[in-house]
Amino acid sequence: MKKVLVMASGFGSNFEAIVEYFKNKDVCIELLSDKNNAYVLKRAKRLGIKSYIIPFNETSNFFLKHKFNLVVLAGYMRILPKEVLNLAEFINIHPSLLPKYKGLNAIKRAFMSGEKVSGITIHYVNEEVDCGEIIFQAECKIEPDMTLEEFEEQIHFLEHMHLPRVIEELIK
């Protein structure tokens, strides 16, 4: 059985999309959060998924004790040091077409920029923020009459549709 760890610090909608996608497949999904009050932990409990609350400074020790076929950063709001990145294969999902709008608030920055197209990027993780090799990108249009909330919904739809499929390809 393949083991996938999702690392998340917040709401966890991508985590839930991953869990639902792999529900009847031979893949074990687990969750790690660095925040004991993250909503994603409630999702994990409701979905019956094993979860860990690991302070950021203990991340390296965690990966020395636990092995995974793939680690997915899905709203994990920390920059992992090289010593941790050397312990597993890490991918990240980012809500823009990298290399544009790296870092925080990418959806809002892309929307406010006057861009006509944005999207999502799934990439390998390295020590630099949102700079790893790109695995997959999907585009969506920013329509002139669209609200920020509508654009955000479109981005999340793309994330939920594509991230589980990319994970599946990578762990085959």
Catalytic residue numbers, as ranges: 94
Task: Tell me whether the omega of the peptide bond preceding residue 99 falls within 30 degrees of 0, making it cis.
Answer: yes
* Chain position carrying tokens 């010593």: 83
In angstroms, how far apart are the furthest CA atoms of the chain?
51
Integer angstrom CA distances of residue 115 from 18, 93, 101? 29, 20, 11
Q: How far apart are CA 73 and CA 92, in angstroms?
A: 5
**What single letter denotes the amino acid at residue 79?**
I
Closest CA to 60 of 31, 83, 34: 83
Helix (H, G, I), strand (E, B) or coil at 30: strand
